[in-house]
Amino acid sequence: MAETGKGVTAGKLAINVQKRLTRAQEKVLQKLGKADETRDAAFDEMGVNFNKQMAEGAKLHKDLKAYLAAVKTMHDASRRLQDCLADMYELDWFGKEDMDTLAEDTDTLWLDYHQNMTDKSLSTVEAYLVQFPDIKARIAKRDRKMVDFDSARHHFTSLQKGKKKDEAKIAKAEEDLGRAQKIYEELNVELQDELPVLWDSRVGVYVNTFQSLAGHQEKFHREMNKLSQNMNDIMTKLEEQRELKKGATAKRGGASSDEADHSESAGSPPQRPGPPPSRPPAQLASSLDRGQQDEDPGPEQAPSWDSWAAATSGAEGDVPPGFLYKVKAVHDYAATDSDELELKTGDMVLALAFDSPDEQDDGWLLGVKESHWLQNKDISAKGVFPENFTQKL
């Protein structure tokens, strides 16, 4: 027998052509109302649900891939932005190494986010969709076999009703009918068992997909928020150091008549610091000294800082020599020289008098942290600090 292709003979091809022709004729007769059609309302509903489920799954897959493509685009944009900053960031700027590490961590976070989304959410949907083509093909086959069954049934009936009955043909038609019915019913029963299970499975797929999506989003944004805060801190510190460096240069130089104020920083202090604190009134100091002198009043003498501090604090002996008043740090201040006092917001500082007024720079105070004084009772850790980083109490 002649071959028309790999594994396909001319005879088999002719049989297939005849089957398609018979089915087409049967469908025409059914549409014209000249032949009844096997109807299964329950299966028809399953078929509608299947088509709806398949379309929704395909749309979910498409939109999820579009989301991942957007994540990839955002990752690329983030990387280019980080590279731009790295190229501009000079080696001697504050936090250069931290910025490089932050850029690497940001890149890794984007990569992990995209990979986790692909491995979990996208793979769940793809595993779900992979079963649809096979079931769709089996439904189509079931529909064809139903037409074959109807055609065989009508052919058998017509032979039985014929005036001239050919028993051999009738027997052959009956055999064909039984075979067609068996094939159709087997496919129909299998699909009636599988389609409701597949329909119900969509809920679990949606839950797993979007729970995974939400979980990875939450983790990504939480970690990204930390990196963003680190970025903000580095930028803030860079600006502070720039301002402090500029102020320190003006303070130590002393040659320029319009030198920059020491207190400038990114901690939002007032732009123009107030004047340095005044020394205590002579009248008050004199009265205090007289109260501590013997019966011989002697000549009036200049007030001591200790006596004035005791009078103003109400606790003589519990304040350091030269104590003026207490202040509270309202901004962090990073010391830039060995004689400066490092401040953290909330620190309590005991302001002290300079040994000589000439030593005091405009807008700067001398002091020791209260915690150091209370613990050590010495002023060895005293230092200068910008007045407008503090608030007088």
250 is a domain residue: no
> How high is the pLDDT of residue 38?
77
* pLDDT band for position 39 (cuts 50, 70, 90): confident
| Same domain flag for 230 and 371 | no
255 is a domain residue: no
> How high is the pLDDT of residue 111?
95
| Same domain flag for 183 and 313 | no
pTM over the 0.75 mark: no
> How high is the pLDDT of residue 340?
94
CATH of the domain at 317: 2.30.30.40
Which of residues 223, 242, 261 is at a domain's end?
242
On whether the CB atoms of residues 358 and 343 are closer than 8 A, the answer is no
| Same domain flag for 309 and 199 | no
196 is a domain residue: yes
Q: Is the pLDDT of residue 49 over 80?
A: yes
260 is a domain residue: no
| Span 317-333, average pLDDT | 90
| Span 166-192, average pLDDT | 91
> Tell me: the pLDDT tens digits for 343-372?
999 999 999 999 888 888 888 999 999 999
| Same domain flag for 223 and 102 | yes
230 is a domain residue: yes
| Same domain flag for 203 and 338 | no
| Same domain flag for 73 and 200 | yes
| Same domain flag for 40 and 187 | yes
| Same domain flag for 223 and 361 | no
CA–CA distance, 23 with 29 (Å, rounded to integer): 10
Helix, strand, or coil here: 26?
helix
For the chain, what is the domain count? 2
Distance set, CA 346 to CA 83, 103, 390 (Å) = 38, 33, 9
| Same domain flag for 235 and 371 | no
* Beta-bridge partners for 3: 9
| Same domain flag for 154 and 39 | yes
127 is a domain residue: yes
> Tell me: the pLDDT tens digits for 53-79?
999 999 999 999 999 999 999 999 999
358 is a domain residue: yes
Enclosing domain of residue 157: 13-242
253 is a domain residue: no
> Tell me: the pLDDT tens digits for 127-148?
999 999 999 999 999 999 988 8
Q: Is the pLDDT of residue 310 over 80?
A: no
List, in order, residues 6 or more apart from 11 with CB less than 8 Å away: 1
| Same domain flag for 286 and 388 | yes
| Same domain flag for 25 and 155 | yes
CATH of the domain at 65: 1.20.1270.60
Helices 167-253 and 132-161: crossing angle in degrees, nearest 10, is: 160
